[in-house]
C-alpha cells in the first residue's frame, strides 16, 4: 500500500506494559478518542483541546506522545481514513463511531501497527454495542489493499487545496508540499529558548533590524519575530488588531526580557505617524497553507473564499505600511502560505501602485525567487512554507 509511514517510537510500543500486557496504551487511545470527538464534530481546535485533556490524565510522557500522534495524525489524515473505512460500511455511522473507525484505520494504515494491537485496542475503547461493527470494519481495513481514487483522498486534503497548490506550484512541487505537510513538524528552538520554526526565524532575520532603529511589527502576536527585532537592539513597536493576542506579546516580552511598545491597532489603518519607521514588518494573517502540518485541523477549516478576502486585507496592510516608512526605509512582507494571490498578487499591486519602492535581493536557497520576492516550499528544507517580499522606499 502506498502512503504508509514508518511507525514512530511512541506507537505500538507505548501500548505495551511490562510483559507485553496492554496497559497505558488503552488510556492513550481513550484520551485520543475524546479529543477526536471534541474536534469533530465538536469544533474544538486540536492544539487547544488536546493539551487540556492531557493535563487531566496521569499518562506517562510516552503515552502523551502516543495520544498526540493519534489525535494529530488521525485529524490530518481524516479524509484518507474515511476512504479506508467507507469501503466496508453499508450505511453511515454516528460521529463517535466514525472517530473510532478513523482512529483504527490511522493506526493500521498510517502507523503500520500490527492488526491485533490496532484493532483489538481500538475495540477496547469502543462502547460495547458498537464493538462488533468496529471490529469487523477494522479487520477488513487491515487485510484489504487500497486503491486511492485521487491524490486529494490519499494525501487527505480538501479538493480545493490540492487544486490551488497544483495550479500555483505545479504538479510535482504541489504533491511534495502536500506530502510533507502530512508529517508532524520538528520542534526548533532559537538561541534565546523561544520555540519557532526555522522559516519564521529566517523571515525575522531578513528584516535586518539594526541597533537604535525604529522598527514596526504591524501583525506581531504572539511576538516571535518582534522579540528577534528587539534582540537586535531596535526600538520595536509591536502592534496587533486583537487585544487578547497582544497579551501574548506582553507575556513573551516579559518572559524573554525584551522591551516592546505594544499597540492594539488594525494594520490597515495604524495610528502611527507617516514616515516614522526605519523598517516595517507585515507578517500578515493568511490562509496558512504553508503550515498545515503544524495545525492538524487547519486544512478542514480554511475555505477557498478566504484567500481572496485575505489577499485584499494584505494589500491594504502593505499600502498602509509603506506610508509609515521614512525614505530609504524597508518593508518586509511575509505570509506562511503558498498561494500566488497572497504573494505575487500583493507584489503586483505594489509594483503598480508604488513606483517609489525598489526590490531588495530575495534570500537565497532554500528560498526560490518568486516575483520580486521569494518562496520557501516546505519540502525544500523541512520547514514551514512561506513567501517573503523585501522592498525599499526610495
Ligand atoms: C501570522 S500572525 C503573526 C505572527 C507574529 N508575527 C509572530 O512572529 O509571532 C498574524 C497576526 O495578525 C493579526 N491580525 C489579523 N488581522 C489583523 C489586522 N487587521 N491588523 C493587525 N493585525 C492583524 C492576528 O491577530 C495575528 O496575530
CB 10 within 8 A of CB 25: no
Q: Is any atom of ligand 1 closer than 6 Å to the C-beta of 219? A: yes
- 221 Cβ below 6 A of ligand 1: yes
Contact 252, 228 (CB under 8 A): no
Instruction: Indicate which residue's Cα is closest to atom 10 of ligand 1.
Output: 285
Could you say which DSSP state residue 102 is in? H
304: its cell numbers? 477557498
Give the CA dihedral 23, 25, 28, 33, nearest 10 degrees: -110
CB 10, CB 20: distance < 8 Å? no
Q: Which atom of ligand 1 is nearest to the CA of 224?
A: 9
Confidence at residue 11, expressed as pLDDT on a 0 to 100 scale: 34
pTM of the predicted structure, to 2 decimals: 0.92
Ligand 1 centroid distance, CA of 222 (Å): 8
Whole-number CA gyration radius for the chain: 23
Position 40 scores a pLDDT of 97
pLDDT at 104: 98
Per-residue pLDDT at 58: 87
137 Cβ closer than 6 Å to some ligand 1 atom: no
Q: Is 219 a catalytic residue?
A: no
- Each of the 394 residues of the chain gets a pLDDT tens digit; together they read 333 333 333 333 333 332 233 334 448 999 999 999 999 999 999 999 999 999 988 899 999 999 999 999 999 999 999 999 999 999 999 999 999 999 999 999 999 999 999 999 999 999 999 999 999 999 999 999 999 999 999 999 999 999 999 999 999 999 999 999 999 999 999 999 999 999 999 999 999 999 999 999 999 999 999 999 999 999 999 999 999 999 999 999 999 999 999 999 999 999 999 999 999 999 999 999 999 999 999 999 999 999 999 999 999 999 999 999 999 999 999 999 999 999 999 999 999 999 999 999 999 999 999 999 999 999 999 999 999 999 999 9
Cβ(294) – ligand 1 distance below 6 Å: no
On whether the CB atoms of residues 168 and 339 are closer than 8 A, the answer is yes
Give the per-residue pLDDT at 329.
98
What pLDDT, on the 0 to 100 scale, is given for residue 27?
82
- The span from the CA of 1 to the CA of 148, in Å, is 10
- Residues in contact with 30: Cβ distance below 8 Å, sequence separation at least 6, in sequence order: 125
Closest C-alpha among 48, 18, 45, 49 to residue 31: 49
Task: Dihedral sign for Cα 254, 256, 262, 265, please.
Answer: negative
Amino acid at each position: 500500500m502506498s502512503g504508509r509511514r514508518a511507525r514512530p517510537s511512541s506507537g505500538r510500543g507505548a501500548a505495551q506494559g511490562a510483559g507485553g500486557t496492554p496497559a497505558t496504551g488503552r488510556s492513550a487511545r481513550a484520551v485520543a478518542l475524546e479529543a477526536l470527538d471534541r474536534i469533530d464534530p465538536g469544533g474544538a481546535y486540536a492544539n487547544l483541546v488536546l493539551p487540556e485533556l492531557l493535563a487531566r490524565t496521569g499518562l506517562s510522557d510516552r503515552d502523551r506522545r502516543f495520544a498526540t500522534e493519534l489525535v494529530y495524525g488521525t485529524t490530518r489524515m481524516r479524509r484518507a481514513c474515511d476512504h479506508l473505512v467507507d469501503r466496508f460500511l453499508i450505511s453511515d455511522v454516528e460521529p463517535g463511531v466514525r472517530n473510532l473507525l478513523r482512529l483504527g484505520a490511522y493506526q493500521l494504515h498510517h502507523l503500520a501497527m500490527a492488526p491485533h494491537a490496532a484493532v483489538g485496542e481500538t475495540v477496547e475503547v469502543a462502547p460495547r454495542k458498537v464493538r462488533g461493527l468496529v471490529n469487523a470494519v477494522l479487520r477488513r481495513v487491515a487485510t484489504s489493499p487500497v486503491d486511492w481514487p485521487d491524490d486529494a483522498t490519499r494525501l487527505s486534503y480538501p479538493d480545493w487545496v490540492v487544486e490551488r497548490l497544483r495550479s500555483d506550484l505545479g504538479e510535482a512541487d504541489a504533491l511534495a508540499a502536500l506530502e510533507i505537510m502530512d508529517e508532524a513538524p520538528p520542534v526548533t528552538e532559537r538561541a534565546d529558548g523561544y520555540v519557532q520554526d526555522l522559516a519564521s526565524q529566517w523571515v525575522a532575520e531578513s528584516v535586518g533590524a539594526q541597533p537604535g532603529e525604529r522598527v514596526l511589527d504591524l501583525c506581531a502576536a504572539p511576538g516571535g519575530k518582534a522579540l528577534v527585532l528587539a534582540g537586535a537592539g531596535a526600538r520595536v513597536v509591536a502592534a496587533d488588531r486583537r487585544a487578547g493576542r497582544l497579551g501574548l506579546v506582553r507575556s513573551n516580552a516579559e518572559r524573554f526580557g525584551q522591551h516592546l511598545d505594544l499597540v492594539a491597532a488594525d494594520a490597515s489603518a495604524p495610528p502611527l505617524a507617516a514616515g516614522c519607521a526605519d523598517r516595517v514588518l507585515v507578517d500578515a494573517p493568511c490562509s496558512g497553507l504553508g503550515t498545515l502540518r503544524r495545525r492538524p485541523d487547519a486544512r478542514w477549516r480554511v475555505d477557498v473564499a478566504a484567500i481572496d478576502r485575505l489577499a485584499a486585507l494584505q494589500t491594504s496592510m502593505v499600502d498602509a505600511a509603506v506610508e509609515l516608512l521614512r525614505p530609504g526605509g524597508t518593508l518586509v512582507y511575509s505570509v506562511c502560505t503558498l498561494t500566488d494571490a497572497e504573494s505575487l498578487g500583493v507584489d503586483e499591486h505594489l509594483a503598480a501602485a508604488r513606483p517609489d519602492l525598489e526590490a531588495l535581493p530575495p534570500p537565497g536557497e532554500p528560498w526560490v525567487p518568486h516575483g520580486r520576492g521569494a518562496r520557501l516550499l516546505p519540502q525544500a528544507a523541512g520547514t514551514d512554507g512561506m513567501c517573503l517580499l523585501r522592498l525599499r522606499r526610495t
